[in-house]
Homo-oligomer: A and B are copies of this chain.
Amino acid sequence: MISKSQVKHIQSLGQKKHRDEEGVFIAEGPKLVKELLQNDQAEVRHVYALGEWIEINERSLRGIDALPVDQQELERISQLTSPNQVLAVVKKFETPEAIDVKGKISLVLDTIQDPGNLGTIIRTADWFGLSQVICSTDCADVYNPKVVQATMGSIARVKVFYVDLIDWLNAQQDIRIYATMLEGKDIGSMNSLNEGLIIIGNESKGIHEEIVKLVNAKITIPKKGGAESLNAAVAAGIILSKIT
């Protein structure tokens, strides 16, 4: 049985303000929660789950208290339209103070505000072995429940930084900056890269002009049909598939 104050507390974590204050976020569903429980980087604080889930996953819990809830209670605390067996409150991941971009490829996101897109981009970066994604401060919050869900567990493996993008890019020395744009060098002619920053822009507005000025190479995914643009996560996937 879950108390009223617990329900209120968990619901409050749907808002960034409360997540920031407490340094935690919500993860839901058996797949994601299990992945977080198995990941040494993740500190799962509380688990709320159906009795059946707790019985089956007792070993995965490794001593973490799991409060049994019924379906109705789960619905009250869940951020999903179809709550799925288990919800966990997890400590936010630590990110190092300094961002190390040497010898690796990093994705840089300019104003990716759709939570599903941001989560899918993080998942895609993870698939292609990237260790970090650098976001402008006006991107969606990585701990937004919809972002967490869309990462499908990759949130525990990919470090996500938030920076003032113009300042930060201005400070980058000796590293090439690539930008995905509607006009540029055909991605098909690109070789694989060992190092670089790949900027993906907002779908409707593209990359900010001040940022475009800092770019060393513009790359493009040639358009063969009628669509005006590609989804940002799809574009990121195509580029990473080619250069990694």
Q: Specify which of B127, B224, B228, B242 is in contact with A129 (CB 8 Å cutoff).
A: B224
A227 at the binding interface (Cβ < 8 Å): yes
Q: List 5 A-B contacts (CB under 8 A).
A: A120-B231, A124-B230, A127-B221, A152-B227, A237-B237
**Total interface residues in chain A, CB < 8 Å:** 34
0/1 interface trace, chain A 146-186, chain B, CB 8 Å (1 if under): 00000011100100000000000000000000000000000
A109 at the binding interface (Cβ < 8 Å): no
A199 at the binding interface (Cβ < 8 Å): no
Given contacts A120-B234, A233-B233, contact A126 B241 (CB under 8 A): no
Q: Give the number of times this chain occurs in the complex, counting copies.
A: 2
In contact, A127 and B233 (Cβ under 8 angstroms): no
0/1 interface trace, chain A 220-244, chain B, CB 8 Å (1 if under): 0101111111110111111001101
Q: Smallest CB-CB separation from A125: which chain B residue? A: B225
Q: Smallest CB-CB separation from A188: which chain B residue? A: B241
Q: Specify which of B124, B228, B234, B241 is in contact with A124 (CB 8 Å cutoff).
A: B234
Which of A153, A224, A228, A231 gathers most chain B CB within 10 Å?
A231
Q: Specify which of B120, B127, B154, B187 is in contact with A224 (CB 8 Å cutoff).
A: B127
Give the CA-CA distance A168 to B57 in the complex, in Å. 42
In contact, A226 and B154 (Cβ under 8 angstroms): yes
A134 at the binding interface (Cβ < 8 Å): no
Q: Smallest CB-CB separation from A221: which chain B residue? A: B241
A10 at the binding interface (Cβ < 8 Å): no
Q: Specify which of B128, B227, B236 is in contact with A127 (CB 8 Å cutoff).
A: B227
A130 at the binding interface (Cβ < 8 Å): yes
In contact, A225 and B157 (Cβ under 8 angstroms): yes
Give the CA-CA distance A172 to B37 in the complex, in Å. 46
Give the CA-CA distance A113 to B242 in the complex, in Å. 28
A206 at the binding interface (Cβ < 8 Å): no
A116 at the binding interface (Cβ < 8 Å): yes
How many whole Å from A124's CB to the nearest CB in chain B?
Answer: 5
In the complex, chain A residues 93-129 whose Cβ is within 8 Å of any chain B Cβ = 116, 120, 123-129
